[in-house]
Amino acid sequence: MRVSDIIKKLSKPSSQTFWSKANNDWSKANNKIKTRESASSSSSDEPIVVNEIEETALLKTVPLKEAEKIQRTSEGVITMPLSDGNPMDSGYVLYKKFPIQLGGVVMGKYRDDDKSDKFERMWATLNDFLVQLMDNKRPSPSIVISMSEEIINSLVQNDALVKILYIEKNTNDITSNLIDVAIVSTKIGLRLDYSDSQMKELVTCALMHDIGMLRVAGEIVLKKEKLEETELEEIRRHPLYSYEMLKNNGFSPVVSEIAYQEQEREDGSGYPRGLKGESIHEYAKIIGLSAIYTAMLQPRPQRERKFPFQIIKEIIDKNKTQFPLHLIRILIDELSVFPVGLYVKLNTGDIGRVVRTNRLAPMRPVIEIVRDSHHREPQEHREYDLMKEHILAIKDTLYEII
């Protein structure tokens, strides 16, 4: 289906159930959201029940036996993501140096930008922590906590870090993945009006949530054939591996417990324990949703990277029962269907760059024209607010212009 067809489908009355509810919520954008939905309300059209956010008690866990021997290559430790729900998507690599040096990260026009410099510095800090951890050293948790504070402070000031999400990265770079998930989780946590201590906990959990994938046996990760059930079970144990790696390394107990829960889903369809609803900590729900969003922003061997509005549509279509509806709404609201910096093609043939989003109408942002219909740079500045320019419409999206 073409991008334009998806937009048209989203605009049809039959597809408006979610969007109409979301727009009602967006009209109250200045109100702080402190909601928690039950598992049943997340899959229905019943009104949202507003409650104060409560802390979910940490669940009892069982210690894991000796971890699998770490598999190494000349570049790093091989492991594998499951964020898309497909264990054969790709393998993760814990690089020893920034992937741009290996031809892995495509920074494009951002390469000399301050945002890229900040990302590279953050990457190096977190990656060094992971390398030390996998070398059986005990790096200080303060390294990760300090990075959490940096991400939070940066996003409180402006959304410069958000643009890092849309840079194409090496698909198997676990360090970049962890940072991306932390950025999205921060945006959601800020909208939930979390306290400073809650924000620090949430973002630290996000930066550590998937490290158990570094202990999945290499022969399973590298296997190209269909995985056997026993091999799938090994992959599904990675949250338990994360728990074991974190619980005795100086982190708060909540960090290891959230890592244990990050693959659990609201409707009980997740793993490893099949938890549902209020049995899952809200941090884990936020991180799980953020991981799905960021995973689809990056390419996989069998598919192209997806555009934000395609991701949102897929989350609504396929994952609506897996996450609380209020978190999905915040994700759409904060990151937008058409995020700032994305290039779009209008029905006039002009190409524009999104410069501002319209919270009450996410499908109609403010556009600055950068190429006319003949692909020439405009002679004068032209900017259109699509909420006011009703004859203009977005027909396609682009990550970069050639």
Does the domain spanning 3-31+339-398 belong to CATH 2.30.30? yes
Omega cis (within 30) before 272: yes
The secondary structure element, H or E, covering residue 92 is strand 92-95
How many Å apart are CA 184 and CA 312, to the nearest integer?
A: 14
Write down the domain spans for the chain. Answer: 3-31+339-398, 76-310
pLDDT tens, position by position, 229-248: 888 888 889 999 999 999 98
Tell me the DSSP string of 65-81: -SPPPPPB-SSEEEE--
Contact 329, 387 (CB under 8 A): no
SS3 155: helix
What does CATH list as the number for 76-310? 1.10.3210.10
pLDDT tens, position by position, 113-127: 556 678 889 999 999
User: What are the helix (H) ranges across 135-228?
Assistant: 142-157, 174-191, 196-208, 218-221
Residue whose structure tokens are 């594998």: 80
Contact 134, 70 (CB under 8 A): yes
The model's confidence at residue 275, banded by pLDDT at 50, 70 and 90, is very high
Higher pLDDT, 86 or 316: 316
pLDDT tens, position by position, 282-325: 999 999 999 999 988 887 666 788 888 888 888 888 888 999 99
Report the DSSP beta bridge partners of residue 303: 300
